[in-house]
Each structure stands twice: as C-alpha cells, then as structure tokens.
Structure 1
C-alpha cells in the first residue's frame, strides 16, 4: 500500500496518527469476500477491539478497519477477484 506523505489519516479516520519523525504502520489483510470483511471486523469488536472504519465500499474496494487491544490498526479488504 502506498501512503501519501500526509500519513494514514485517510485510512484510519479520526484516530491520531504518528507524529512527525515517527513511523506508523497499518496491518492489512484480505478476506475472501465482503461478508468475510464484515465478519472479521465484527469478531474484532466482540473481542474488545475498536471499530476504526465501518466496513463499506471505498474507491479502492470493500474495506473495514479496527484497532486491536494494543491500538494497532488492522485494515481488512475483500478479495477484489471474488
């Protein structure tokens, strides 16, 4: 994933991003389908995670994002071939 110099703000919504001079990372995984994205984000929420971006259609595909208990952001994207 190529990230603009402004950082991950466009992916992670209203969450704080790393301050200048620090690295940041979004972990991105692919689910087999849109329903797979929905289910994985739902499971993360049930396990104590925080929804960062509700699953839905974006210009680059069907995607949702959540933060795990340590605050790491996981982006889940549907397989565009499915």
Structure 2
C-alpha cells in the first residue's frame, strides 16, 4: 500500500507542477491581452460542424495513450531491477 501512496503522490506532484508551469502563465497572458473576449466571441460564433470536435477527440485520445504508454514502460523498467 505504501508503494501506491508513493506513486500517487509523485503523480500528483508532476501534475501540479505542469499546471503551475503551463496553464497559469498562459491564463494570465490571455487575461492581460484581451484574448478572453476574442475567445468568447469565437465560441459564440462557432460552427456546428464536426471539424474541431473530432480533432479534439483524437488529440485527447492520443495524449491519454502516451501517458498510459509512459506509465507501462516505467513500471516494466522498475520490475527488471
């Protein structure tokens, strides 16, 4: 059980660090440049086509697959020691 807690805490630290390093500065930049108003307008005028929805879905599945692959490779590498 201690291994699971250790693994979970490391994953939480990585995710928190990623959010702090990428999302928060990008949000601050967008808020200071007036990009937020443009994004709201674009969302309101968005077409009902499948273009971005399918692309977004494929991108999300790809990222999830990469994360799962990295976890599997790391766990297999630890078992060999």
TM, length-normalised to structure 2: 0.21
- Structure with higher Rg: it is 2
Higher strand proportion (structure 1 or 2): 1
* Bigger relative CO (Cα 8 Å, ≥ 6 apart): 1
Higher helix proportion (structure 1 or 2): 2
TM, length-normalised to structure 1: 0.21
